[in-house]
Amino acid sequence: MGNESRNVLKPMDSEQLREYGHRLIDFIADYYKTIESFPVLSQVQPGYLHKLLPDIAPDHPETMDQVLDDVRAKILPGVTHWQSPSFFAYYPANSSVAGFLGEMLSAGLGIMGFSWITSPAATELEMIVLDWLAKLLNLPEQFLSKGNGGGVIQGSSSEAILVVLIAARNKVLRNVRQNALEKLVVYSSDQTHSAFQKTCQIVGIHPENCRVLETDASTNYALRPGLLQEAVSQDLEAGLIPFFLCATVGTTSSAATDPLAELGKIANSNDMWFHVDAAYAESACICPEYRQYIDGVETTDSFSMSAHKWFLTNFDCSLLWVKDQDSLTEALSTNPEYLKNKASQANLVVDFKDWQIPLGRSFRSLKLWMVLRLYGSEALKNYIRNHIKLAKDFEQLVSEDPNFEIVTPRIFSLVCFRLVPAKNDEKKCNNRNRKLLDAVNSSGKLFISHTALSGKIVLRCAIGAPLTEEKHVKEAWKVIQDEASFLLHK
């Protein structure tokens, strides 16, 4: 045998997978067991990894031991531990045993599910699981796959917004003149995620036609229907075409929830597409006591939630439901010869390639299916309720300390708070809160993030990591209080 054949790569060696796979699972299980020993927020300096890794890729195979040693010594120091029980920044990005195993199974099967024919189970399971979740959320029947609606998994909330914005643009331009793009107007609030601005840039909505409606503390930063109505009327008078409203349930800054029913009335009566971004908060709406926050969902054309935030499903898994699947496929479908097949040509099946931007798609429904099956909806509801209770406890602790105040009332598991200003000096107060944020996060003991509301720097404690327990919340508060007292007495 020559050297060449001895060097032939065997990348699908089952026995190697068994051996390495067991070791990697052990590695990850140990990581979870010891996750509290790491600083939650990585403390490395920019460029640290360049100093530790070679400039060129290896010519010859290295061992799994060598790789894992490097993960321990060089990669983990540069990891911010999103699964740490003391991770309270942004919104959570849940991992779980079920979600993780589902992701692994998807990687193992290694399919591309762009057309039904390319893996019928991938398309059909996705439809079934999205219907399951729609029923858990008590969504109107129009969002179920048996009619003209249905759900689809996108990679992110941004992609979900992008595809519906494209569908809405396509629909309105078909109904009016094709060259009316410069007349199309979109509406959102100043609390809407920046993903919406980005999607408008991509879709070619003129920046001067993006109405960013102001919110304030009087509505807890929810969009006021009156303001929307006014803006729409002015635009109509000016000969413009209002065509898209993006509302939010659970804004990123403060978990504000826009009043869907009232906004929906305005959108519907003006023939606008109404999308709701409920990336974080929608998970809570599987609990009957939180379902009220999506009341009015029947007036929407589409809405999305990210199961990878607070629903134990590993990234990426953003769920998008639409009432009218034709509007998506009319805007996004292509039919090249090389993808033609009998099932698609006969219109017997859904091809999810026509509901999204990329062609390729992995078997993402497996992880959501495993989460729903291995945990069951009752345990999932209690999982959510427990985080909300922990947030309520944290809110109570904050409100008992005269140095702090709660900035907006808590609804779900996000607490917005800050050090109170001394002598009404808001500027100094903002500086103090920034300093407190830095001090807390550089302790490595927890990680919180911040936002600005009406010019105030606000600290955010978002509870929702799968390993978080009462003791972690209490410890976090103690660190915040200690750092605050150090700052205030300096």
Please give the sequence-ordered ranges of beta strands (E in DSSP) within 160-219, or none if there are none.
184-189, 210-213
- Would you say 123 or 318 has its CB closer to ligand PLP? 318
CB of 390 to ligand PLP, least distance (A): 19
- Would you say 193 or 460 has its CB closer to ligand PLP? 193
State the residue for tokens 């060129």: 56
CB of 198 to ligand PLP, least distance (A): 9
Give Cα 12 to chain centroid, integer Å: 33
- Would you say 106 or 157 has its CB closer to ligand PLP? 157
Q: Is 286 in the site for ligand PLP (CB under 6 A)?
A: no
CB of 279 to ligand PLP, least distance (A): 4
Q: Is 279 in the site for ligand PLP (CB under 6 A)?
A: yes
- Would you say 94 or 119 has its CB closer to ligand PLP? 94
> What is the number of alpha carbons within 13 Å of residue 308 lying toward its C-beta?
20
CB of 246 to ligand PLP, least distance (A): 10
CA dihedral over 398, 401, 403, 407, signed as positive or negative: positive
- Would you say 183 or 387 has its CB closer to ligand PLP? 387
Pair of tokens at residue 127 = 């439809």
CB of 160 to ligand PLP, least distance (A): 8
CA distance 95 to 316: 10
Contacting range for ligand PLP; rule: CB under 6 A; set: 41-49, 114-122, 250-258, 349-357 = 250-258
Asked whether 283 and 387 are in contact (CB, 8 A), the reply is no
Identified binder of ligand PLP from the candidate list 209, 252, 270, 325, rule CB under 6 A:
252
- Would you say 255 or 419 has its CB closer to ligand PLP? 255
Residue ranges in 142-201 that form contacts with ligand PLP under rule CB under 6 A: 156-158, 193, 195
Phi first, then psi: what are they for 60, rounded to 5°? -125, 155
CB of 319 to ligand PLP, least distance (A): 11
Identified binder of ligand PLP from the candidate list 87, 88, 91, 116, rule CB under 6 A:
91
Residue (of 168, 239, 245, 176) closest to 203 by Cα position:
168
Q: Which residues pair with 457 in a beta bridge?
A: 452
Which positions ≥6 away from 270 have C-beta within 8 Å? 232, 236, 242
Q: Is 277 in the site for ligand PLP (CB under 6 A)?
A: yes
CB of 356 to ligand PLP, least distance (A): 14
CB of 154 to ligand PLP, least distance (A): 8
Which positions ≥6 away from 165 have C-beta within 8 Å? 186, 199, 200, 203, 205, 244, 273, 275
- Would you say 158 or 356 has its CB closer to ligand PLP? 158
- Describe the strand order of the beta sheet including 241-248 as a list of residue ranges: 150-154, 318-322, 302-306, 273-277, 241-248, 184-189, 210-213
Pattern 210-249, binding to ligand PLP, x per CB under 6 A? --------------------------------------x-
- Would you say 126 or 277 has its CB closer to ligand PLP? 277
DSSP state at residue 354: G
Identified binder of ligand PLP from the candidate list 94, 189, 306, 314, rule CB under 6 A:
306
Burial 34-48 (b: 16+ CB within 10 A, else e): ebeebbbbbeeeeee
CA distance 282 to 18: 38
Which positions ≥6 away from 322 have C-beta within 8 Å? 143, 149, 150, 151, 152, 164, 167, 301, 302, 328
How many residues bind ligand PLP, per CB under 6 A? 15
Contacting range for ligand PLP; rule: CB under 6 A; set: 102-110, 114-122, 273-281, 319-327 = 273-281
- Would you say 161 or 173 has its CB closer to ligand PLP? 161
Phi first, then psi: what are they for 285, rounded to 5°? -75, 0
Concatenate the DSSP letters of all residues of 22-42 into one string: HHHHHHHHHHHHTGGGS-SS-
CB of 70 to ligand PLP, least distance (A): 29
- Would you say 247 or 286 has its CB closer to ligand PLP? 247
Residue ranges in 336-365 that form contacts with ligand PLP under rule CB under 6 A: none
- Would you say 252 or 313 has its CB closer to ligand PLP? 252
CB of 282 to ligand PLP, least distance (A): 10
- Would you say 263 or 279 has its CB closer to ligand PLP? 279
CB of 281 to ligand PLP, least distance (A): 8
> What is the number of alpha carbons within 13 Å of residue 387 lying toward its C-beta?
34
Identified binder of ligand PLP from the candidate list 115, 283, 300, 318, rule CB under 6 A:
318
Which positions ≥6 away from 345 have C-beta within 8 Å? none
First-to-final CA distance of the chain:
75
**Chain residues in the site for ligand PLP (CB under 6 A):** 91, 156-158, 193, 195, 248, 250-252, 277, 279-280, 306, 318
